[in-house]
Structure 1
Amino acid sequence: MKLETIDYRAPDSAKHFVESLRETGFGVLSNHPIDKALVETIYEEWQAFFNSEEKNAFLFNRETHDGFFPASISEKAKGHTVKDIKEYYHVYPWGRIPDSLRANILAYYKNANDLATELLGWIEAHSPAEVKAKFSMPLPDMIAQSQKTLLRILHYPPMTGNEEMGAIRAAAHEDINLITILPAANEPGLQVKAKDGSWIDVPSDFGNIIINIGDMLQEASGGYFPSTSHRVINPEGTDKTKSRISLPLFLHANPPVVLSERYTAESYLTERLRELGVL
């Protein structure tokens, strides 16, 4: 299996993108409308934030989950006992954001949401009739004005050699949401699990954008679109001294949206957050 990069502007891009999602759970787009310079500026701004003590003034709210999550309380992936090597900040438009960082990060949030809406339209348009029939409403409508869509600014710090045995930057996991939008990070390391159990590097050319299926879309499509395990491995050699910034936007359906006979978006999210120990 190989992940091919698809030109967003090509006339057959939607078809090939959805085929890639169906086969691997991932799609990689080049020449997309997300501004590369904006992403680069955000990486620089938030790297400075994570390097500063200012971050500790924005510790996360235990009720609303916006704000800064230090490495000491970083999450464990489902089924794992060792914390990931990372710290992160949760951005919601209604949440707390440092004033100096607000304009660019909210511009990115909106642009990535707009792209996600288009891509969900691609997914629905190129789904078989029997899969479309499972959707309780058009896929783009599921995320319209959603207050649950989460932008996570991830910081993977340089390796010190004192990391807990078995810890990696992000252990193998699947995402909870419908789809995830992710600009290629400033350092490599993202891998996706193939059907044969091997791990494949996701193309990390800066300027690409990476999209993956989440568990909610897998549920809504009756398993047609797979929510594939992925991870971020530790760097080697001189790369150990480098930080890594990542900007995943997790597109969440509005809470009342019916995903299947078993779940609404709200009941599904609640179940998963309990599994992760967040609730």
Structure 2
Amino acid sequence: MSAAIPTLDIRRFDTDRVNFVAELGAAYREWGFCGIRNHGIPQATIDAAYEAFKAFFSLPDDVKRAYNVPGSGGARGYTPFGIETAKDSRYPDLKEFWHVGREIPRDSKYAEVMPENLWPTEVAGFRDAAYGLYQALDQLGSRVLSALALHIDLPQDYFADKTNFGNSILRPIHYPPITAPDIPNVRAGAHEDINLITLLVGASAAGLEVLSRKGEWVPFTASEDTIVVNIGDMLQRLTNHVYPSTTHRVVNPPGEQARKPRYSTPFFLHPNPDFMIETLPQCISADNPNRYPTPISSHEYLLERLREIKLI
């Protein structure tokens, strides 16, 4: 494996499946990260969503705060600047964000833990643009999970009925311009993601860095047609660290670049709330004994982690 994080063409999942699955699995075992190009999400869908997100973040602070739901852990709606704090960090991240969740019937058994979405009436087309991107990334994530399942000798559709009502989140993020000198905060402190996999659309701006196995921070600035997909802690736990959840951060850019805002939109793909995260037998061996003998539901695990990062 070279010192560069790989980028792969996901069309090969249909045309060159065996080799694609092998290369994708190798990338994730080494890095926990991979770029996915030719993903099939129209640029117009991405652009429309970003225009809507930028329009929302440009609204007055009191308007945005009207969409904050105290006590909800930011599950839906708006989370103000300076709230989320990376685990073990002294300083909050330099960001504000919005959460879009899955639209489910309100008589669903998951309704209690998956609240209704909020939609800002001040931004025309926000709902259609945001949820259109949500659905597109959800479908792409399912394809990536299918390939990852094959790589560890699971059925291709293993994750299908375990994520079809997943408590997945689309998170438009605004990192405002940095104007104060020598600020101790960074845009996003070193952390690992909570979920199964994360799909980051709009990672073309510099700042994302991934911690290599050698302990070096490796910048990963993807080309505009590439979506960055990384492993989260739930999948790391499920696979007994066969797929590692890699530490990453968003650093403050140097000089004048710091005075420009940065926008990004990760999609956190979660399992269904009642899915039990129990180590896969395919991922247990004499060399890799079971690190997690006690199963935990994905919802309970999520709550544990949200407390750690000060969202609840």
TM-score with structure 2 setting the length:
0.81
Question: Does 1:107 find its partner at 2:129?
Answer: no
Q: What are the within-5 Å matches in structure 2 for residues 203-218 of structure 1? A: 203-218=221-236
Distance in 1 (CA, whole Å) between partners of 2:234 and 2:186 is: 26
Distance in 2 (CA, whole Å) between partners of 1:181 and 1:228 is: 14
Structure 1 unaligned blocks of 5 or more: none
Question: Does 1:271 find its partner at 2:304?
Answer: yes
State the AA in 1 paired with 2:34.
G
Distance in 2 (CA, whole Å) between partners of 1:48 and 1:184 is: 16
Distance in 2 (CA, whole Å) between partners of 1:68 and 1:268 is: 22
- Runs of 4 or more off by more than 4 Å in structure 1? none
Matching residue within 270, 276, 293 for 1:252: 270
Instruction: State the partner residue of 2:171.
Output: 152
Please state how far the C-alpha of 1:61 moved relative to its aligned partner. 4.5
User: 1:186·1:244 contact (CA, 8 Å) conserved in 2?
Assistant: no
- Identity, in percent, stands at 34
Instruction: State the partner residue of 2:108.
Output: none
Question: Does 1:67 find its partner at 2:67?
Answer: no
User: 2:191·2:249 contact (CA, 8 Å) conserved in 1?
Assistant: yes
Distance in 2 (CA, whole Å) between partners of 1:48 and 1:270 is: 31
Structure with bigger gyration radius:
2
Distance in 2 (CA, whole Å) between partners of 1:140 and 1:19 is: 22
User: 1:118·1:140 contact (CA, 8 Å) conserved in 2?
Assistant: no
- Seen in structure 2, the aligned counterparts of structure 1 residues 34 and 13 have a Cα distance that, compared at 3 Å, is farther
Distance in 1 (CA, whole Å) between partners of 2:180 and 2:222 is: 25
Q: Number of paired residues?
A: 270
Please state how far the C-alpha of 1:19 moved relative to its aligned partner. 1.6
Q: What are the within-5 Å matches in structure 2 for residues 8-157 of structure 1? A: 8-10=10-12, 11=16, 12-53=19-60, 54-63=63-72, 65-72=75-82, 74-92=83-101, 93=103, 94-99=116-121, 100=124, 101-127=126-152, 129=153, 132=154, 138-146=158-166, 148-157=167-176
Q: Secondary structure at the match of 2:206?
A: coil
Distance in 2 (CA, whole Å) between partners of 1:275 and 1:153 is: 21
- Seen in structure 2, the aligned counterparts of structure 1 residues 44 and 185 have a Cα distance that, compared at 3 Å, is farther
Please state how far the C-alpha of 1:233 moved relative to its aligned partner. 0.5
Please state how far the C-alpha of 1:186 moved relative to its aligned partner. 5.0
Structure 2 unaligned blocks of 5 or more: 104-115, 279-293
User: 2:198·2:267 contact (CA, 8 Å) conserved in 1?
Assistant: yes
Instruction: State the partner residue of 2:281.
Output: none
TM-score with structure 1 setting the length:
0.90
